[in-house]
Amino acid sequence: MPHSNLNTLLSADALERVRAPLSQAWTLPPAAYTDPAVYALEEDRLFARSWQCVARVDQLKAPGDFITVDLPQHPIVVVRDLSGDLHAMSRVCVHRAMPVASGCGNARRFVCPYHNWTYELNGQLRSAPMMDGAEAFDTGAWRLAPLRLEVWQGFVFVNPDAEAEPLAPQLAGLDALIARYDFAELEVAETLHFDSPWNWKILTENFMEAYHHIGTHRQTFERVYPARDASVPDNGGAPWSFLHMPGKHDEAGPTSFPRLNQDERNALFAACVFPNFLFAASSTSGAWYQLHPRAHDQMDLEIHILLHPSLREAMSDASLKEMRGMFHAIHTEDIEANAGPWQGLQAAGTRQGRLSPFEKSIWQLNQLWLDTLTAATSSA
Ligand code: FES
Ligand SMILES: [Fe+2]
């Protein structure tokens, strides 16, 4: 279904202010967050064609382990098959569209609960009962629709677009910045769930700037990672952004990243792979903010705490609980910085604001957003 172009939904003047160099740039206009038509365009132009992170390899260790995820317009299942290969595919039954899996678990095959059509873990239809008499029906010709899948740093990414450029080469610059962080070795230790009834870009922007440490986190992050010390390297237009937050402490505690130098050990970073893969690391732990938009005013959010298995093993349950509490406390502060602007963006007189040069990641992500949503397409 062709949607209008972004240029028909937002004024040319507003878009030009977003396009301006960082020192002159403005925020996205309020309708970019609040207009359901903009969200519909994002579903068609952005999420239908982007690499999105859906799991960690450590969540799919054993043959048969699977996870279901709802990407915009694409309910999928991600599974490790019996020979150890990972697959991502639609979980919509090819018979009459019942989802063939839910939640997560371990399966030898997927059996649709409606009429028992049974699929191999690679999505191939294996059997369909009582179809004798159906002419020209060959189970071998039917399968759950596959999605592209790539593993990067232990994160499992999928892309609904069969023509998409491979992900890893686009992240070479980001790889260089996190070369001593061995994310592939980490495992999910804890997961926190949060209700997030606001536009997905509000959280993304909040995640990618340290400017708000002076307000939202003045009693917490600002003392260790002052807003003024943070910086964002150029990304050359590549689909990622990296926020470096040097720390004022001399970190000497147990680490999930043994190869870090002392400056890295003291620092915190946050990074985004456009559009919605958010991850972060201190010396102690990694974090993956798993965000999936649901509508213009709703997203799902899970915060996964990632630890090196040897560190997790050495930790008491009490200290893991304490760590979970810290993540909860910081995000509780950020919820105010999400819910407040969401309310404000819907007020009648709200207009575009000016960006601080300390919000360079937001500027970078805005350029990528505009590039994607204003690009000419053959289908439009
Ligand atoms: S809908 Fe799945 S078997 Fe009928
Ligand atoms: Fe924050």
pLDDT, tens digit, for every residue of 369-378? 999 999 876 5
Class of residue 350 by CB neighbours under 10 A (exposed 0-12, middle 13-18, buried 19+): middle
| % of residues, the chain, pLDDT over 90 | 97
C-alpha of residue 331 to centroid of ligand 2, in Å: 7
Mean pLDDT, residues 202-212: 98
Residue whose CA is at the smallest distance from ligand 1 atom 3: 115
Give per-residue pLDDT as tens, 316-332.
999 999 999 999 999 99
Judge whether residue 241 has pLDDT over 90: yes
110 pocket-lining for ligand 1 (C-beta < 6 Å):
no
CB atoms within 10 A of CB 379: 8
Q: Which two tokens stand for residue 125?
A: 């239809």
114 pocket-lining for ligand 1 (C-beta < 6 Å):
yes
pLDDT score for 377? 64
96 pocket-lining for ligand 1 (C-beta < 6 Å):
yes
pLDDT class for 1, splitting at 50, 70, 90? very low
Average pLDDT across the chain, whole number: 96
Residue whose CA is at the smallest distance from ligand 1 atom 4: 115
Is residue 221 within 8 A of residue 213, CB to CB? The reply is: yes
H/E element, 79: strand 74-80
| Domains detected in the chain | 6-49+168-374 (3.90.380.10), 52-159 (2.102.10.10)
pLDDT score for 375? 87
Mean pLDDT, residues 251-260: 97
Give per-residue pLDDT as tens, 43-63.
999 999 999 999 999 999 999
pLDDT score for 252? 95
Closest ligand 1 atom to residue 117 Cα is 3
Of 267, 304, 42, whose CA–CA distance to 156 is shortest?
304
Ligand nearest to the CA of 220: 2
What is the DSSP secondary structure assignment for residue 251, as one 8-state letter? -
C-alpha of residue 92 to centroid of ligand 1, in Å: 9
Closest ligand 1 atom to residue 96 Cα is 1
119 pocket-lining for ligand 1 (C-beta < 6 Å):
no
CA-based angle 92:94:97, to the nearest 5?
50
Strands, DSSP E only, in 153-201? 155-159, 187-196
Give per-residue pLDDT as tens, 82-140.
999 999 999 999 999 999 999 999 999 999 999 999 999 999 999 999 999 999 999 99
Is residue 239 within 8 A of residue 225, CB to CB? The reply is: no
